Chains A and B, each alone.
Chain A
């Protein structure tokens, strides 16, 4: 079995301790901790989940019920950059389905899939609060609005 020092860096363990200190009980920090360790691995594997559970004094199933509840915790591998394309009402009205088609054509993937080179994953997301610039998406951490096919061809050109 792997032990903590093989699975997590010293920096991560230090950061986890800092996060836990913000709450009166360790488990309260579990979402912050999952996000922290996900940042370095793109997703939460079963091994990492078990390790985080051990550190926070939770059972694996207790932590997994949290991990699987939230949209931004990935329990399956995703690409280097996750594209979150808004599918809520204003973006839908302003043509998000056409944008989705452009992205899928350019990257030759379907919604929810990862490109063969592991660079991109396309997922739908709820309203990103950019409705005055609909349709909108998050590319990694960057919010991009007023999407049209020209913009998509520039940001995500056909391979």
Chain B
């Protein structure tokens, strides 16, 4: 099985430096592309590859790039931004790529920025990722010294500078327009869309924002072609993806697998199944903003389309396992605490609704809830449905609550009836 994204990553070892990365074929795609292949051709390959955004949305990367105006249409600076603000609870895939193979990301940025004709790039890395920031900054300076970045790259006339921006911590910075506000030195409040960033992004200039994992796929797609990439997937999906499992499994970790691998396969065969004495109760398939799935539904192939067809989201693809000895109400209350705290406070349903949900859940958890609270929670969820808030934070928060209310109804009622948590 091919694992293009993680082939250079060796556990508990320092990542490849520039020379080591080049020795295994690194930057070959850059050498063969920049100034030699027309940017529109590069863009076409990415469109044909079917690559979808790996930050959780799955939106086709090529189509996002096609929305960028040409330099003739819009003179001046164009930006290519890497979203490395990984903060979705339960997600640890981008840190692996940032720390494990920094030059893969830099090579991906050069090719991506060239394709959309951006001349300036920022890598927005969350401030808590100290090691990633140090390693990526080092890789950028190595690439600069080798003439792979800067003015007139490889004599092609193409210019690209990269600045690494270490964030100061807020989940909402992962929302692409909030990220742009943060890069402009403002509170990370999402912007109204349209206009999309491709039309008016950072400092009003044409801007593409892509997730780390998305960008890391680009060198492999350019080097091996769209057909090769499409054939990596299974069950109708394309490419590989870094999936992961955390919770009470035998081997929690991140695994690069074909897109479309059944979730059951990952949990049983890669994560080693459940630890002795624990049963799998339910799964949050891709971070805190995805809905619960029950054990009987785990034969689903892990792809954006298959999950959308089930009314759920693949999200970041890093699964959180709820076992039979953890209180589901406590777990949902923990998730809602996160969202209430990380709401940027801009729009009322989210700012006021999420703390209300959190307080109600915490009361139920300790046995102080009322049966009416369950209707109340459903009502508040409706006010935070997609389209009723400024961004996707609150609707994402409601995914686990809505599915939880339906799957764990008995447990909710038992807490209220007995006046205590059966798990404590």
Q: A interface vs B, CB < 8 Å?
A: 22-25, 27-32, 34-35, 56, 65-66, 69-73, 84, 87-90, 92-94, 125-134, 138, 141, 143
Contact = CB atoms under 8 A, between A and B. Distances in A.
Interface stretch (B51-59, B244-252, B386-394): B244-252
Contacts, number: 135
Contact of B171 (A32, A66, A126, A130): A126
B241 interface: no
Contacts of B129: 129
Interface residues of B, number: 55
Contact of A30 (B171, B185, B341): B185
B313 interface: no
B331 A93 contact: yes
Given A90-B320, A127-B89, A72 B127 contact: yes
Contacts of A32: 165-166
Residue among B128, B323, B342 with most chain A CB within 10 A: B128
A90 B246 contact: yes
B128 A84 contact: yes
B246 A131 contact: yes
30 contacts: A25-B184, A25-B185, A27-B185, A30-B185, A31-B167, A31-B182, A31-B185, A35-B166, A35-B168, A66-B186, A66-B187, A70-B168, A70-B169, A72-B127, A72-B128, A72-B167, A72-B168, A72-B169, A84-B128, A87-B338, A89-B284, A89-B334, A92-B334, A93-B248, A93-B320, A93-B322, A129-B87, A131-B246, A132-B245, A141-B130
Contacts of A134: 246, 252
Contact of B170 (A71, A131, A133): A71
A131 B128 contact: no
Given A66-B187, A132-B244, A35 B253 contact: no
A73 to B, nearest CB: 5
B163 interface: yes
B331 A131 contact: no
A34 B87 CA distance: 21
B168 A126 contact: no
Interface of B: 77, 86-92, 94-95, 127-131, 163, 165-171, 182-188, 203, 244-248, 252-254, 284, 288, 318, 320, 322-323, 326, 330-331, 334-335, 337-338, 341-342, 344
Nearest to A68: B187
A133 B254 CA distance: 11
A90 to B, nearest CB: 4
A113 B187 CA distance: 26
B185 A35 contact: no
Contacts of A35: 127, 166, 168
A143 B98 CA distance: 15
Contacts of A69: 170, 187-188, 344
Contact of A132 (B88, B186, B246, B341): B246
Contacts of B130: 138, 141, 143
B168 A127 contact: no
Nearest to B173: A70
A41 to B, nearest CB: 15
Given A24-B203, A93-B331, A66 B185 contact: yes
Residue among B88, B91, B168, B252 with most chain A CB within 10 A: B168
Residue among A93, A128, A141 with most chain B CB within 10 A: A93
Given A22-B163, A84-B128, A93-B247, 19 more contacts: A65-B187, A70-B168, A70-B188, A88-B90, A88-B288, A89-B89, A89-B331, A90-B90, A90-B246, A92-B330, A127-B88, A129-B87, A129-B95, A129-B128, A130-B92, A131-B320, A132-B246, A138-B128, A141-B130
A141 B203 CA distance: 32
Contact of A131 (B163, B169, B186, B244): B244
B185 A29 contact: yes
A121 to B, nearest CB: 15
A23 B338 CA distance: 32
